[in-house]
């Protein structure tokens, strides 16, 4: 059994560094959270909760929380630095494997009190005298809502961006924070400042994950009208077995 203690280091009578250390019954001491291969800790999250392992693979913390930023913030309040942190998330709402630094750049930035993250995707098609947008809200592999929007004029980049922002903002509650992945858009400073702390926009190259929103934009282009729908039933994608 090991003892865990905090070692404080001072310079010029001021605290310069504070670290957690371990000591075995034999008196062997070592940092609890050393950095190895670029990471100090690994955070694994499933629907059942989270586990934090140090670089040696030892479990240092467990819990029921499944929100990355809440877990990291709680550790900081206890004076524990997890970064550089590796993330492995596999829940019904989210699947991700990346560094916390990258995760924070994609999904961080919410205002205080907006703790419920909601994810969207958007795609646009521009004709000579029209624009069409496809937008979905999703959680994991499940689509929660769709929007197939048609405009009988060619929107410039700012107007198209504003159309996406207005739609997403209208779907959010006071404690929601929107994350929107965009394809074929350009972001500028105005785009970020307009919805700062409420919606975060990320550019992404086209991939098969954007097929659904592309099809929604194509549907609007062919239909020349707008529709939106909230999906109330979960569709079981497993094949039906007939005996």
pLDDT in tens, 3-24: 766 666 677 777 666 666 666 6
Q: How confident is the model over 189-195, as a mean pLDDT?
A: 73
CATH architecture of 116-230: 2-Layer Sandwich (3.30)
Decide which of 74 and 30 is more confident.
74
* pLDDT tens digits, 157-190: 889 999 999 999 999 999 999 999 998 887 776 6
- Whether 49 and 66 have beta carbons less than 8 Å apart is answered as yes
- In percent, how much of the chain has pLDDT > 70? 84
The CATH number that domain 33-107 falls under is: 3.30.420
Q: Domain residue spans in the chain?
A: 33-107, 116-230
pLDDT band at 2; cut points 50, 70, 90: low
Same CATH topology for 33-107 and 116-230?
A: yes
pLDDT at 216 over 90: yes
């Amino acid at each position: 059994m090991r003892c865990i203690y905090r070692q404080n280091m001072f310079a010029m009578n001021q605290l310069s560094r504070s670290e957690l250390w371990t000591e075995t019954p034999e008196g062997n001491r070592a940092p609890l959270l050393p950095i190895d291969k670029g990471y100090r800790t690994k955070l694994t999250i499933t629907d059942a909760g989270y586990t934090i392992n140090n670089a040696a693979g030892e479990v240092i913390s467990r819990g029921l929380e499944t929100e990355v930023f809440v877990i990291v913030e709680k550790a900081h309040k206890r004076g524990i630095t997890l970064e550089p942190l590796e993330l492995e998330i596999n829940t019904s709402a989210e699947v991700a494997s990346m560094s916390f630094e990258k995760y924070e750049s994609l999904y961080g930035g919410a205002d205080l009190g907006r703790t419920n993250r909601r994810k969207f995707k958007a795609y646009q098609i521009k004709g000579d005298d029209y624009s069409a947008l496809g937008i979905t809200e999703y959680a994991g592999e499940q689509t929660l809502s769709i929007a197939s929007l048609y405009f009988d004029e060619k929107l410039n980049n700012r107007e198209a961006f504003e159309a996406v922002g207005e739609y997403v903002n209208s779907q959010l509650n006071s404690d929601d924070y929107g994350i929107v992945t965009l394809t074929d858009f350009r972001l500028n400073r105005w785009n970020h400042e307009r919805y700062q702390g409420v919606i975060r926009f990320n550019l992404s190259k086209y991939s098969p994950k954007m097929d659904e929103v592309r099809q929604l934009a194509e549907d609007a282009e062919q239909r020349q009208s707008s529709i939106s729908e909230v999906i109330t039933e979960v569709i079981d994608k497993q094949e039906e077995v007939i005996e």
